[in-house]
Amino acid sequence: MLIRITIVASLVGLACLTCCSKREPVVAAPEVEWPEGTILVIDGVPIFQQEIDELIEALRLMDPDKTLPQLQRYALTNVALPRVVGMQLDTRHREVVMEQAERLHATLLAGGEPGEDQPEMRVFEQGWWKDAGIDVWAKARNMEAGEWTVHESVGSFLIFRLREKPPEPWGRRTAMPIEMYILPYLPQEDPKALLEDGIDFMNMEILDPKWRTLVPQHYKNRMDAVTPGSEVEKS
C-alpha cells in the first residue's frame, strides 16, 4: 500500500507541475549511441527489436490472420511498452525484488528449497497464453522441460519452468503445465491504471524509422515522441 501511495503521490505532483507550466518542445539527443537493435527509447530505457521478434511466432499462432505490422504493434503495446514503463515507476523497489528473484532462481537451480521470505509456487496445470501471459507462453516454446528461468514481465519478475513440453505443432490453445513463482514490484490490484498514468509522464524517442508508422499515434502524442534531430511528432 505504501508503494502505491508513493507512486500515486509522485504522479499527482508531476501532474500539478504539468498543469502549471507549458511543456517545452522535446528534441531528441542524436549524440547518444544506443545498443544495436534499439528501436525505441522510453525515458532513457531502450526497447529492442529482439523483444518484439521473440513474440511474433507465438502471436502468429494466436491469430494467424494478422499481418506482421499488426503483430509487431500488439507486441509493443501489450508487452514491451508496458514492461518498460513499469520498470521505471518504482526503480528502488524493483531493484530489491530483482535481487530476491535472483536469489530464488539460484536456489532452485541448485536444487534447494525456497526460504520463508519467498512467495508460494503457483501451478498452472493447463496453462496457456491467457493464463500465463503471451510473453511466458512465447518464451516457453524455446525452453526444455524442468529448466528454471527468470523472466521480467509487466511489473513483476517471474521464475518458472515447464513440467513437460507439449509436442509440436503448437496451436493457440496448446496447454502447458507450468510451475511459477511471481515476485511483483508494482501493486497488483490495479496495475493497468498505474501504467497508464506513467505513460503520460514519460517521453518516447523513435530510433528505427519503420517504427514511426508502427507506434500508434495516441502513444506518440501522449509521450511526446521524437525521432533523432526532430521535434515532437504529433498529429
Please report, for residues 83, 98, 154, 198, 230, the alpha-carbon distance to residue 192 in angstroms, rounded to integers and kept in the order given. 11, 21, 10, 10, 31
CA distance 181 to 158: 6
Radius of gyration of the chain (CA): 19
Burial classification of residue 22, based on how many CB atoms lie within 10 Å of its CB (0-12 exposed, 13-18 middle, 19 or more buried): exposed
> What separation, in Å, do the N-terminal and C-terminal C-alpha atoms of the chain show?
38
Q: Which three cell numbers stand for residue 45?
A: 530505457
Nearest 5°: phi and psi at 27?
-120, 130
Secondary structure of residue 18 in the 3-state scheme: helix
pTM for the structure as a whole: 0.81
**SS3 of the chain: helix, strand, coil, percent, to 5:** 45, 15, 40
- The 10 Å Cβ neighbour count of residue 220 is 18
132: phi then psi, degrees, rounded to nearest 5: -90, -20
Residues 109 and 161: beta-carbon distance below 8 Å? no
Single-letter residue type at 123: V
Q: What is the pLDDT along the chain (235 residues), one digit of tens a residue?
A: 333 333 333 433 433 433 443 345 555 445 688 999 999 999 999 999 999 999 999 999 888 999 999 999 999 999 999 999 999 999 999 999 999 999 999 999 999 999 888 899 998 876 666 777 889 988 988 899 999 999 999 999 999 999 988 888 888 778 888 999 999 999 977 778 899 999 999 999 999 999 999 999 999 999 999 988 665 566 6
